[in-house]
Chain A
Amino acid sequence: MDKKGQIAIFVIVALVIVGVILVIFAYPQIKNIVAPSEISPSQYLKDCISPEVKGAVDILAKQGGDENPVGYINYLNVKVKYLCYASGYYKTCSIQQPMLLSHFSDELERILTPKINTCARNLIAEYERRGFSVSSSAISSNVSLGSGNIKIEFIAPMTITQAETTRTFDKFDVSIESGIYDLLSIATSIVDYEATYGDSETTLYMQYYPNLKIEKIKLEDGVKIYKLTDVVTNESFAFATRSLVWPAGYGL
C-alpha cells in the first residue's frame, strides 16, 4: 500500500470518528426533533379531535342541529330540521326545538364520544411508546359551546411516570375555534320571531352583525329555509320553519 492510500484511509477514519462524535453530541436534539420525549397532551388531543369536530359540526349545521332529524324538509337532498312549525294556515308556529344550544352540544358530544375515547387511548399509547409508564382510569368527556369556540373536556385521569418523574392529570381541556355558538344564538332569536310574529326581518340582523349573511329561501306552501353564514369564517347553520302561512286565495 502506498503512502497516498494510507493517508486516504486515515482521513476517512478521522471523518467517521468526527461524524460519530457529532452524532453522539447531537443525538438528543435529533431524537427530540424526530420524536420529542415531551408531549403536550392538550395539543396532541386537539390535533387528534379537531378534524372530527369540524366534520361533525358541518353535518349538524346543515341539518338544523340534528344528526338524524325527524320533522324535517328535504331541501337539495339534505334533511333540514324544522325548528318551528305550524300546520294549516294563519297560525304562528310552535317551537319544535327549544334549548338549541344545549341540544347541539349534546348531539356533538354523542357523535364525538367514540373519537374522544380513541384520542385519549392514543395519547396513553404514545406515552407508553416513548417509555413512560401510564396508569389511567375510565375516560369520559364533556362538550360545550362558547362564543368563538367549542370546548372539549377530556376527563381522562392518568398518572405518567418516567424514571423519578411523575405527572398526574385529571382532565385535559381542548378549545377549538368555531363561530357556531354565535350562529345558533342568532338562529334562536330568529325562531323566537317566527313563533311570535310569523316572520323575521333578516336585514336588521345583518346590519347589526357585520359578518353575518342570512339567506331566507322560500319553498312551497310557506316553508322557509334559513341559512346563516359567517362571511369571514364561512361557517354556516341552516334550519327550516313554517309559520303564519297565507294560502292561495282564501284558503277554503
Chain B
Amino acid sequence: MIKISMIAAALSFFILISSSSVFAQGSTPTVCCEKTISGLYCQDVPAAQCDPNPNVRQVPTSCKATSYCKPGTCFDSNEGTCLDNTPQNVCNLNKGIWSDQAAPQCELGCCVLGDQAAFVTLTRCKKLSADLGLETNYKKDIKDEATCVASVLGQEKGACVFESEFQKTCRFTTRAECAGGLFGNKTKGDFFVGKLCSAEELGTICGPTTNTICAPGKEEVYFVDSCGNIANIYDASKVNDKEYWTNVKDKSEACNPNSANAGSASCGNCNYLIGSFCRATTRGTNQAAYGTNICADLNCKNTQNGNNYKHGESWCVYEDAGETGVSDNSVGSRFYKHICINGEEVLEACADFRQHECIEGSINYTGGSFSQAACRVNRWQGCTEQKSKANCENTDKMDCKWIGGSTIKCVPKNSPGLKFWEGEEAKSICGQANVRCEATGTKKPYSISAGERKWDWSGECVNSDGTISSSWKNEMIGICKSLGDCGPKVNWIGDKGYKDSYKFTS
C-alpha cells in the first residue's frame, strides 16, 4: 500500500516581475513632508518626494505627531465655517484660525432667516442674515437641525402693509419680520394674517397679475403680484378670481393637491416628493397658460435596467460577467450605483478591485416604495480565517459565505480584485487555495484478467481507478476562484484567460 499526494496549485494570473520593488515600496520609510514635489501639503511620503526647498520641513515621523502638520479644525472667520482634519500650517497659510480641538466658534445653533432656518455657527448666521437684509436671529439653545427647522414651520404669514414714498405698499412676510423691521431697517408695518398683498380690502398699490415665479425654497409655481410678492399657487382657472387673490390658500386647497402636476399648463402645485419641481419653461418643455414657469418632471423613465425611478432614488447595477454575492465575480468587474436626478440617470462607480460593493434597500410608503443604494466597503479580508459558520455569516462584521470545506470553510461573498500582474500579494492570497490530498492505493494480489487494473484507490479526491475525482477538482477550483482574482476566471466581458491558471499534480 502506498500513499500519493495530490496537489492542486492555484496559479493566479500574475507575472513574477518587480516583486522586490513592491515590497520595497511597502517598507520604504516615510517622512512627514510639509510640501511635496507635486505641491501637496502635509503628506506622509518617502523623503525623495518632498519639495527640495530648504525651507520646507520634513521629519521622520507621522504628520499627526508634528507641530506644523498636526490636524485640527480650521475656522473661516469670513464665512463662519469650520473644516476638520486641516493641517495647522495649511490653515495658517490661508489666514484661517486653527485649533487642535473643536473651537467654540464652531458650535452650531439655529439661525432664523425669515420663514426659513439654518443650523450654522453664529458667524455664519450673521453673514447669511446680512446677505438677506435681515436682523440676526440666532438661537444657540437649539442643539439639532431637525428642531431648528421645525422651529420656523407654522409661522404666521400674511400681508405687511406700510408706507413708502407716500404710497401704501405691502410685503408678504411673517408676523415677526413685519413687527421687527423690514429690509434690515426699522420700517415696520401693519400685519394682516392670512391675507395676500393683492387683497383689495388692504388698499395697497399691489394687485393681481398673470405672472408666476419659482420662489426660493419652494417647490410650487406661485402667482406673483404687481409689487413682486408671491401670492397663491399658480392655478390658471383662478387668474381672475378675487378671492384667490385675497386670502392665503394652503397647498391642500390649491389645484390637484395629490398629483405631481408635471408638465401641467394650468396647475403649478408641484410636489417634490413625488417628482416635480418648479422650473422655467424652455422651448422643449410644455408651456404654461400664464407665466413662464411650470412643474417640471424630475422622475426617470425607462432607465438602463428598463425600470422607472423617482427623483432621488438610487439602485445597484452589476452588469459584468459573473454573479454577485456567490463568490463568482469576474476579473475587472465592479459595482455601480445609479441615481435618478432631475430626470437624468447618473452613474457612480463603487471602488475598483471590488473593495466596495453596492448595497440597496427600499422604504415602503403608502404611495409605493423608494429605493436607496450605497457603495460600502467589502469586508472580505477575514473570511478565510473563520472556522465557525456563525462567525462566517456574521454580517455585522464581515461579508463572507460559508462553504464548509475541509481546509477553507469560509470565503468572501464578493471575491476581491487583485493586482495579479505585479507583486507577490496575489500569489499569497490565491495560494491559500493550494491543497494536498492523500489517497491510498492497494495493490491487488493478482489480476483477474488481462487489462484489469492492479491497484484500488481510495480517498476523497480520487476515483477508485486512481484518477482525480472531478467533483473534488471542481470544489477546489471553486474555492480557488472565490478567494479573489484567482484560478480559471473570466474577465468582466466574459472572456477566459490564456491559461488554466491552476494545476493538479500527483
Q: Give A contacts to B, CB under 8 Å.
A: 69-72, 82, 84-88, 91-99, 101-103, 146-147, 185, 188, 191-192, 195-196, 199, 201-203, 206-207, 210-211, 213-218, 220, 222, 231-232, 245-252
Contact = CB atoms under 8 A, between A and B. Distances in A.
Contacts of A147: 131
Given A203-B314, A203-B372, A218-B351, A92 B85 contact: yes
Contacts of B344: 213
Contacts of B280: 232
Contacts of A201: 374
Nearest to A147: B131
Nearest to B81: A188
B246 to A, nearest CB: 30
A210 B277 contact: yes
B38 A94 contact: no
A188 B42 CA distance: 19
Q: Which of A93, A94, A249 counts the most chain B CB atoms within 10 A? A: A249
A94 B39 contact: no
Interface string B69-108: 1010010101101011111001100111000000000000
A233 to B, nearest CB: 11
B74 A98 contact: yes
A249 B352 CA distance: 11
27 contacts: A71-B39, A72-B39, A85-B40, A87-B45, A88-B44, A94-B42, A94-B43, A94-B71, A94-B90, A95-B83, A103-B94, A188-B81, A192-B84, A195-B84, A207-B312, A210-B272, A216-B348, A218-B350, A231-B342, A232-B279, A247-B355, A248-B352, A248-B419, A249-B416, A249-B418, A249-B426, A252-B26
A196 B82 CA distance: 12
B109 interface: no
Interface in B272-316: 272, 277, 279-280, 298, 311-312, 314
Contacts of B312: 203, 206-207
B457 interface: no
Given A103-B94, A218-B352, A231-B342, 16 more contacts: A71-B36, A87-B36, A87-B44, A92-B85, A94-B42, A94-B69, A102-B95, A147-B131, A192-B84, A206-B341, A218-B351, A248-B417, A249-B416, A250-B425, A252-B23, A252-B423
Nearest to B217: A210
Given A95-B83, A202-B348, A213 B418 contact: no
B120 to A, nearest CB: 11
A82 B43 CA distance: 13
B377 interface: yes
A102 B353 contact: no
A92 B348 CA distance: 20
Given A70-B39, A248-B416, A249-B418, A98 B26 contact: no
A92 B69 CA distance: 14
Contacts of A213: 341-342, 344, 346
Given A213-B346, A246-B356, A95 B95 contact: no
Interface string B491-503: 0000000000000
B182 interface: no
A143 B5 CA distance: 79
A104 B462 CA distance: 72
A71 B49 CA distance: 13
A9 B337 CA distance: 87
B219 interface: yes
A211 to B, nearest CB: 8
A222 B426 CA distance: 19
A92 B81 CA distance: 20
Contact of A195 (B45, B78, B83, B356): B83
Nearest to A248: B353
**Top 6 closest A-B pairs, CB basis?**
A70-B39, A195-B85, A71-B39, A246-B355, A248-B353, A95-B86
A83 to B, nearest CB: 10
Contacts of A232: 279-280
A248 to B, nearest CB: 4
Contacts of B36: 71, 87
Given A218-B352, A246-B377, A146 B94 contact: no
B455 interface: no
A184 to B, nearest CB: 9
A98 B272 CA distance: 34
A248 B355 contact: yes
A110 B251 CA distance: 48
A191 B81 CA distance: 12
Contacts of B375: 199
A175 B36 CA distance: 39
B381 interface: yes
B429 interface: yes
Contacts of A103: 94
Nearest to B42: A94
B339 interface: yes
Interface in B329-361: 339, 341-342, 344, 346, 348-353, 355-356
B40 A87 contact: yes
B41 interface: yes
B41 A71 contact: yes
